[in-house]
Structure 1
Amino acid sequence: MRPPRPDAVLIQAAIAGALSFAHLHDLAAAAGQYGWKAWAYPVSVDLLLVAAWRRMRMLRAAGESARAAWTWFAIALAASLGANVATAGLLDLDHVPTWLRILVAGWPALAFFGGTLLAHSSRETATAPPVLDDEPPVYGQPAAVPEPEPAPAPEPLPVAEELPSLLPAPAPEPAPAAAPPSPALPAALVEHARKVADDHRARTGEPIDTDTLRARLGVPPQFAAAIAAQLT
């Protein structure tokens, strides 16, 4: 078994992290944060930096906006970089200015707020369940369709005057009764009826009759007959 080979990148990251950790600790101690609090500051800054970077990568991989994660990443990076630069001799750690003490004292609340937003930001969006093509649309109870008015009875033809003839006049032929008008059918209803008829044929092996079609659709007899005529 080969012994593990040292990784130069990991070693460099460990050295840089240790130096940054020490600089943040020194700055926090110089700003009046003593004891364990001075050691907690570098942990807070580095954790916020890593959390913002991970959230930013996840949002970009999902194709969503990472503006909020980038903002908190920039804040944590500015805090870490500022502490490293301040402890490089540019700032007298024995006489820290008041504004820097205020920034150091207010950092825990800012880091807590940023970490909470990063941890609880949801990437899920509510989407409606897809509707399958083979799933028939659900219709509500159809509205009551007014019964078509019956066609008026044809008026009797006038009887021809009797002519003085030995032969009787031929009796007039009755006029054919007018067919009731076919009701207008919605295209969606006809399509739904076609799917119901196909489902009935697939289950029983026989074409659906008018009564069964009317019961399945809940429409008046005139509508059922008109739909059955279009399905044949």
Structure 2
Amino acid sequence: MFRTLRLDAVLIQAVIAGALSFAHLHDLAAAAGQDGWKAWAYPVSVDLLLVAAWRRMRTTADNRAAWVWFVIALTASLGANVATAGLLDMSDVPDWLRITVAGWPALAFLGGTLLAHAPAPPAVPADSPPNPDPAPAPVALPDPEPDPVPELPPAPAAEPAPLPAPAPAVAVPPALLDHARKLADNHHATTGTRIDADTLRARLGVPVPLANAITAQLA
């Protein structure tokens, strides 16, 4: 699929501004005695130094040197634009400007070399954890000698606990048993669970042994 070409106002403005600055630098170099291909090389040198310094500022934390070369390249570009605006007689360029234009290649070469070969700190991902300090090597300690365990006399055998005496049987009247069975059926139908001895004792009002005996017979 072919990508559609979209015109960007910022891109158009950058192209126009770059072309005008390029032409002004060429005219100033030609007026300062640099003819032929040399006059065209001057704007290329200024713009490349400007871009290299800007890129260095964006990728390096300590960018003081990049700022210096950026200001130098920007001054050269702005100076050419102002000089060709009618403030300078292009047919009679002063000597200091000729010297500046003639010395620019060496200055641009020095700046480009320093920007290209300046050491950059290694990039560290933001989400990478810092390297932990290495843990010290464990020191092997001699095993302590176990303390002698005194021999204890054997414990006497525990006597079995006496069994509880069986509870005396409680006689349940048949009529009371029938009534209790009705209460148990009603309780089971209402709650879904069997009636316990405490609930049955509370319903019948009988002592605990009698309630236990009735519950045992209803089981």
Separation in structure 1 between the aligned mates of residue 111 and residue 4 of structure 2, nearest angstrom? 42
RMSD of Structure 2 on Structure 1 (CA): 2.4
In 2: Cα distance, 1:5 partner to 1:15 partner = 17
Opposite residue 14 of structure 1, the aligned amino acid is V
TM-score, length of structure 2 as denominator length: 0.58
In structure 1, C-alpha distance between the alignment counterparts of 2:21 and 2:78, rounded to whole Å: 8
C-alpha displacement of 1:229: 3.6
Moved over 4 A (4+): 129-132
Structure 1 equivalent of residue 44 of structure 2: 43
Q: CA deviation at 1:122?
A: 0.9
Paired with 2:3 and 2:42, the residues of 1 have a C-alpha distance of: 40
Q: 1:1-232 counterparts in 2 under 5 A?
A: 3-59=4-60, 64-124=61-121, 130=131, 132-134=133-135, 136-137=136-137, 192-193=138-139, 225=142, 228-229=143-144
Q: Which amino acid letter does the alignment assign opposite residue 100 of structure 1?
A: L
Q: Deviations over 1:175-225 (max 9, x none)?
A: xxxxxxxxxxxxxxxxx31xxxxxxxxxxxxxxxxxxx5xxxxxxxxxx64
Give the distance between the partners of 1:229 and 1:102, measured in 2 at CA. 88
* d(CA) in 2 for partners of 1:3, 1:104: 43
Tell me the distance in 1 between the aligned counterparts of 2:144 and 2:112.
Answer: 68
Q: Structure 1 length as normaliser, TM-score?
A: 0.55
1:131 Cα deviation after fit: 5.8
**Aligned mates of 2:95, 2:64 — CA distance in 1:** 32
Q: How many residues align?
A: 138
* Secondary structure of the structure 1 residue equivalent to 2:4: coil
How big is the shift at 1:3? 3.3
Letter in 2 for 1:70: W
Give the % identical residues. 72
Rg comparison, structure with higher value: 2
Report the Cα offset of residue 49 of structure 1: 0.3
Q: 2:111 is matched by which residue type in structure 1?
A: G
**1:4 to partner: Cα distance:** 1.7
1:26 CA displacement: 0.4
User: C-alpha distance in 1, partners of 2:8/2:21?
Assistant: 20
Distance 1:14 1:133 in 2: 55
* Matched position secondary structure for 2:35: coil
Q: Deviations over 1:31-89 (max 9, x none)?
A: 01111100000000000000000000111xxxx22111011000000000000000000
Match of 1:16, SS?
A: helix
Distance 1:2 1:42, change over 3 A: closer
Q: For the structure 1 residues 3 and 104, does the alpha-carbon distance in structure 2 shift closer, same or farther, using more than 3 Å as the test?
A: same
Cα distance in 1 for residues equivalent to 2:70 and 2:32 = 23
